[in-house]
Each structure stands twice: as C-alpha cells, then as structure tokens.
C-alpha cells in the first residue's frame, strides 16, 4: 500500500463513527442548542455558536440537521416527548387511585407537568411562526405524525380522567392547551421596552402572570367543555 493510499484509509477511519457515537453527537448538538436557548433569544443563536458550544466544527452540524429551524424543531420534539411521558404518567397515577379526576386535580396535574418543562415552554411560541417555516415535507410529516400519535394517546387518558368529555374531546383539549400556552407566554413576557413602558406608565392592565393565569384559563376551558357536553 502506498503512502497516499494509507493516508486515505486513515481519513476514512477518522470520519467513520458508530451509530452510538452519531447518536451521542446528535444529542450533544441538541444539548448545546438548549443551553444557549435557555439564556439567549432564538434569533441571537447561530449555528456557529452551537458548534462552538458542542465542541464541533460548524460544518458538522449540517451533517445532522439541514437548517437551524430543523435543529430547534428536533429539540422541541425531544421536549414534547418528555412532556407527554410526564403528563401520561401523572394522569395514569391519578386513575390508579380514582376512576376519575376532579377538575381541580386535573388542572394541578397539567400545571405541574408544564412547570417541569421550561424548555418546552420557551420553544412553544416560536414553533409555528419560525421552526415550521424552513423545513422540508418529510420533516414536517414526521413531526406532525409524531404529534398526532401522542395527542391521541394522551387525549384518551384525559377522557378517562374527565368522563364528562365526549369522544376526541381529550385531543381537542390538548390543541386548546397549545393555543393557551402560545398566547399566555407571549403576553406574560413582553419585550424589554414594552415591559418598561407598562411599569413606568402604570399600565397594570397589560401585566399578566403566566403561572397565575394558566390554571384559571384551564378551569374555564374544561368547565366550558363540560357544559357543552351536557347539551
């Protein structure tokens, strides 16, 4: 074997990594993006900064994710998986103790699960307006298929916890929850200059506390679905 051929073999060996190593590297990239996003705005985070945080070359990121939007969408999927597992466990535990849940108990379970997943909360407002805007058909189909499956599974658990709900109302509730989260998160976290105006000019009507308002809105939503179901 010539020195040139030997060099090529060495390069190939250096580039070839196992499936486990690829998975570990993918997770490292997602972890780096999540750590940056915990303290910075989405628009202030670049692929280069994610690469530096993960200890990788910028070009390596694109071997795993075609775009920045796809990268953060995969981060959202990871967060969704964790949240669905959490809320399913909470609802299943409630059903093991009782055949059904009170509305107050159900709301407390939702609040506890939402509060335990701050990254999901931070990503939710940008999901539809940013993350879904620069992905291909295959990625979009995989994401929506995953979400549909999770919604149906959790929706059926919700209907068992709240028997007054009609068929598919559990899935509808989860979609309404998404709408509530997007609206409340955005309203409760105004831009710095807007927050300054509200506080300085004593415009308290615009002040909204996410942790206080969400359970109130959830109770109104569920009671409304209950009243509708009795008709």
Number of H helices, E strands in the chain: 11, 0
**pTM, rounded to two decimals:** 0.84
Model pLDDT, residue 13: 38
Average pLDDT for residues 100-120, to the nearest whole number?
Answer: 92
Q: Tell me, what's the pLDDT at 101?
A: 80
- Residue pLDDT, tens place only, 29-74: 999 999 999 999 999 999 999 999 999 999 999 999 999 999 999 9
Q: What pLDDT does 4 receive?
A: 53
pLDDT at residue 16 in the model: 45
For the ranges 7-21, 73-87, 90-104, 193-207, the lowest mean pLDDT is seen at 7-21
Contact 184, 80 (CB under 8 A): no
- How large is the angle between the packed helices 68-97 and 118-127, nearest 10 degrees? 130
What pLDDT is stored for residue 21 in this prediction?
86
Residue with tokens 């599974």: 153
- Residue 41 has phi, psi (to 5 degrees) of -75, 150
pLDDT at residue 200 tops 70: yes
Q: 13-25 burial, b for 16+ CB within 10 Å, e for fewer?
A: eeeeeeeeeeeeb
Residue 20 has pLDDT above 50, yes or no: yes
What number is the average pLDDT over the span 213-229?
91
Closest by CA to 72, choosing from 22, 116, 135, 136, is 135
CA 56 – CA 99 distance, rounded (Å): 51
121-171 residue pLDDT tens = 999 999 999 999 988 999 999 999 999 999 999 999 999 999 999 999 999
pLDDT bin (cut points 50, 70, 90) of residue 15 is low
Cβ atoms of residues 188 and 210 within 8 Å = yes
What integer pLDDT is reported at residue 11 of this predicted model?
37
**Mean of the per-residue pLDDT values for the chain?**
89
> What is the average per-residue pLDDT within 186-197?
89
């Amino acid at each position: 074997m010539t020195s040139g051929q030997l060099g090529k073999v060495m390069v190939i060996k250096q580039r070839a990594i196992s499936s486990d190593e690829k998975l570990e590297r993918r997770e490292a990239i997602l972890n780096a993006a999540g750590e940056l996003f915990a303290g910075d705005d989405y628009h202030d985070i670049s692929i280069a900064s994610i690469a530096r945080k993960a200890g990788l070359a910028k070009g390596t990121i694109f071997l795993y994710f075609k775009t920045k939007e796809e990268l953060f969408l995969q981060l959202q999927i990871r967060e969704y998986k964790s949240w669905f597992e959490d809320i399913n466990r909470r609802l299943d535990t409630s059903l093991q103790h009782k055949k059904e849940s009170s509305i107050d108990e159900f709301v407390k379970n939702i609040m506890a699960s939402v509060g335990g997943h701050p990254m999901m909360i931070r990503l939710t407002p940008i999901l539809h307006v940013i993350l879904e805007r620069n992905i291909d058909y295959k990625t979009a189909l995989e994401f929506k298929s995953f979400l549909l499956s999770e919604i149906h599974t959790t929706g059926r658990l919700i209907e068992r916890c709240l028997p007054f709900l009609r068929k598919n109302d559990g899935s509808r509730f989860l979609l309404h929850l998404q709408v509530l989260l997007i609206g409340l998160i955005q309203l409760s976290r105004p831009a710095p200059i807007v927050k300054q105006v509200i506080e300085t000019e004593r415009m308290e009507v615009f002040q909204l506390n996410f942790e206080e308002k969400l359970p109130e809105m959830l109770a109104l939503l569920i009671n409304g679905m209950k009243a509708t179901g009795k008709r």
